[in-house]
């Protein structure tokens, strides 16, 4: 876990050093279509445990600080060690609010980067993934809240690095605390 946190800190600092275009288009009275964004994330690992995840999103920038949207989730996992194979799928709704719009005002090499409060309500079907004798569980809801570091990667594109807290962490929750997510928005 410590190695992962070190990698996360190094990635955070490296991304901060990248000089990117300021995303000021919301300041210039954008059209309805310009306020729509899409993106998401993918994840994978291979070996004794195979994990493939695809999580697309579509959202709307309500103001230059407030965004909201919906997303889908699909995860396939297979473990040769434990002898299981299964899929999880579901959806989520999310909202974010930019609390610091431009960290460059305080730290020059973070020009255009921001800090957001991020909330997500995620529902995942785990019927084909978890099997608990005597109990049939089909869905797990995960309300999550936390912070995101946002860095521009183009005129309208962002990379978000999030740390979230799952308020419904259980032994069958697909999101153990803390939840780290990396997402792109275009």
Say how many CA atoms lie within 13 Å of 108 toward its Cβ: 0
pLDDT digits (tens, 9 = 90+) for 105-153: 888 778 888 899 999 999 988 776 666 566 666 788 999 999 999 998 8
Q: What is residue 129's predicted lDDT score, i.e. its pLDDT?
A: 61
What's the CATH code of the domain at 164?
2.40.160.20
Q: List the Cα angle 161/163/165 in 5-degree steps.
A: 150
How confident is the model at residue 132, as a pLDDT?
59
Q: Kindly tell me the burial class for residue 19, based on how many C-beta atoms sit within 10 Å of its own C-beta (0-12, 13-18, 19 or more).
A: exposed
Note down the domain range covering 179: 2-185
* Residue for token pair 């040769």: 80
Statement: residue 18 has pLDDT above 60: no
Q: Is the pLDDT reported for residue 60 higher than 70?
A: yes
pLDDT (tens digit per residue) in 145-182: 999 999 988 877 889 999 999 999 887 777 888 988 88
The structural domain count of the chain equals 1
Above 70 in pLDDT, residue 12?
Answer: no
Task: Decide: pTM greater than 0.85.
Answer: no
For residue 179, give the nearest of 113, 110, 94 by alpha carbon.
94
Q: Which two tokens stand for residue 63?
A: 């103001």
Give the residue among 78, 77, 74 at the shortest CA–CA distance from 54.
74
């Amino acid at each position: 876990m410590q190695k992962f946190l070190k990698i996360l800190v190094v990635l955070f600092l490296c991304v901060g050093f990248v000089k990117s275009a300021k995303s000021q288009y919301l300041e210039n009275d954008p059209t309805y279509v310009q306020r729509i964004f899409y993106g998401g994330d993918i994840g994978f690992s291979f070996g004794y445990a195979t994990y493939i995840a695809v999580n697309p999103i579509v959202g709307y920038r309500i103001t230059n600080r407030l965004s909201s949207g919906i997303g889908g989730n699909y995860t396939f996992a297979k473990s040769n060690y434990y002898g299981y194979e299964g899929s999880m799928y579901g959806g989520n709704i999310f909202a974010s609010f930019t609390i610091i719009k431009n960290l460059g005002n305080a730290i020059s090499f973070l020009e255009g980067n921001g800090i957001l409060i991020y909330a997500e309500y995620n529902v995942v079907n785990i019927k084909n993934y978890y099997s608990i004798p005597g109990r049939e569980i089909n869905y797990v809801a995960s309300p999550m809240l936390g912070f995101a570091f946002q860095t521009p990667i183009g005129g309208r594109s962002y990379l978000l690095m999030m740390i979230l807290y799952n308020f419904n962490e259980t032994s069958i929750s697909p999101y153990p605390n803390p939840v780290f997510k990396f997402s792109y928005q275009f």
